[in-house]
């Protein structure tokens, strides 16, 4: 029996599209609200303050060690909400499908979306489907929006870092970018390289309860270097980072050295950079280390009153160099 493939008609708004949604997508997601076919979902929100984010996912290949574009879409959107301290509740999902994509691939991706939505306790409440011509979408793209709620009095902002704050990262950096690159290029290494793609809200919730967390940022595109520069610039602080304290897996470091890449600029999908009040740094770090997604966390530096927005790196040789914002991506289509 020939494999079923996506055709242009599946995005045309007619019977073929309705069949695609009702026979393939909706049953996998298991959300009754989608069956209502309304133009907008009507939602109940606890509390007065909400957080709203949107993102698009264009990773190539669609499946990589440690994840896939469906897992990436859910975790990436949930993590953006978590970075302002919001509890994720609802997601939307827009599918941009390429003509010729197999139904089996679509089903596998949507099943992953459903699994990770259940894992993170969020609901997919609205969506859209479009089909584009062959060669226009690397198989498929996913666009999402996410809605979450903030507890009364909770204030976490990229502008919140203060001089004296400890800078903490919750584990090895660069895993995601190198795992995707290795799969895309067909590299084979003795050490298994896996994406760190994971939902961070549970870990963030526990650390926020443990102490004074002023600022959070997930170091996705542009890696840790971009996150450090964004936070320093927004908060008006200078950051001093000890390069040797930044956790980098040996396999990732080896691949980066071979390819001439800097792991501090490589994308992550299960990490955060946190600026934590100086007096609470020890107990917050201990709380992070007690979580499965933070057991390799490290205190990597401090916020200071130096030149605003400047990030300096203390190298293993004892010298200092500026860690600048990347001008572009080292690696395309990573997240």
Quote the pTM value: 0.95
- Decide: 335 and 57 in contact? Cβ < 8 Å: yes
- Decide: 20 and 129 in contact? Cβ < 8 Å: yes
Buried-exposed string 164-194: b where 16+ CB fall within 10 A, e elsewhere: ebbbbbbbbbbbbbbbbbbbbeeeeeeeebb
- Decide: 70 and 111 in contact? Cβ < 8 Å: yes
Summarised one tens digit per residue, pLDDT across range 212-264 is 999 999 999 999 999 999 999 999 999 999 999 999 999 999 999 988 999 99
What gap in Å lies between CA 322 and CA 42, rounded to an integer? Answer: 49
192 three-state secondary structure: coil
What gap in Å lies between CA 95 and CA 108, rounded to an integer? Answer: 14
Q: What pLDDT does residue 138 have? A: 93
What gap in Å lies between CA 76 and CA 70, rounded to an integer? Answer: 10
Q: What is the dihedral of CA 220, 221, 224, 230, to 10 degrees?
A: -100
- Decide: 282 and 237 in contact? Cβ < 8 Å: no
Backbone angles phi, psi at 224, to 5 degrees: -65, -35
**Domains in the chain, start-ordered, CATH in brackets?**
8-149 (3.30.1330.10), 166-322 (3.90.650.10)
Q: What pLDDT does residue 44 have? A: 86
Q: Is the pLDDT of residue 291 over 80?
A: yes
Q: Is the pLDDT of residue 169 over 90?
A: yes
What's the full length of the chain, in residues? 335
Q: Is the pLDDT of residue 329 over 90?
A: no
What gap in Å lies between CA 240 and CA 310, rounded to an integer? Answer: 8
126, HSE (Cβ side, Cα atoms, 13 Å): 13
The tokens for 163 are 């001089």
Q: Is the pLDDT of residue 332 over 60?
A: no
């Amino acid at each position: 029996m020939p494999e079923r493939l996506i055709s242009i008609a599946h995005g045309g708004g007619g019977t073929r599209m309705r069949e695609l949604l009702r026979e393939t997508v909706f049953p996998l997601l298991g959300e009754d609200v989608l069956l209502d076919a309304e133009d907008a979902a009507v939602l109940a929100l606890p509390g007065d303050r909400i957080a709203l984010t949107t993102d698009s996912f264009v990773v190539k290949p669609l499946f990589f060690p440690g994840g896939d574009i469906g897992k990436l879409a859910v975790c990436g959107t949930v993590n953006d909400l978590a970075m302002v301290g919001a509890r994720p509740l609802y997601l939307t999902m827009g599918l941009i499908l390429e003509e010729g994509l197999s139904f089996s691939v679509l089903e596998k991706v949507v099943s992953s979306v459903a699994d990770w939505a259940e894992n993170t306790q969020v609901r997919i409440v609205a969506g859209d489907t479009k089909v584009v011509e062959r060669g226009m979408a690397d198989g498929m793209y996913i666009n999402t929006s996410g809605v979450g709620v903030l507890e009364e009095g909770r204030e976490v902002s990229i502008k919140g870092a203060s001089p004296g704050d400890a800078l903490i990262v919750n584990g090895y950096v660069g895993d995601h970018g190198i795992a995707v690159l290795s799969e895309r290029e067909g590299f084979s290494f003795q050490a298994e390289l896996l994406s760190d793609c994971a939902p961070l809200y549970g870990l963030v919730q526990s650390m926020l309860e443990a102490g004074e967390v002023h600022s959070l940022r997930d170091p996705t595109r542009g890696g840790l270097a971009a996150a450090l520069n964004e936070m320093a610039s927004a908060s008006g602080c200078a950051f001093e980072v000890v390069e040797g304290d930044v956790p980098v897996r040996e396999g990732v470091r080896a691949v980066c050295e071979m390819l001439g890449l800097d792991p501090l600029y490589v994308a992550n999908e299960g990490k955060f950079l946190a600026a934590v009040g100086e007096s609470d740094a020890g107990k917050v770090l201990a709380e992070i280390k007690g979580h499965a997604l933070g057991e390799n966390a490290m205190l990597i530096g401090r916020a200071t009153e130096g030149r605003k927005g400047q990030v300096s790196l203390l190298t293993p040789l004892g010298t200092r160099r500026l860690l600048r914002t990347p001008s572009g991506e080292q690696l395309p289509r990573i997240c």
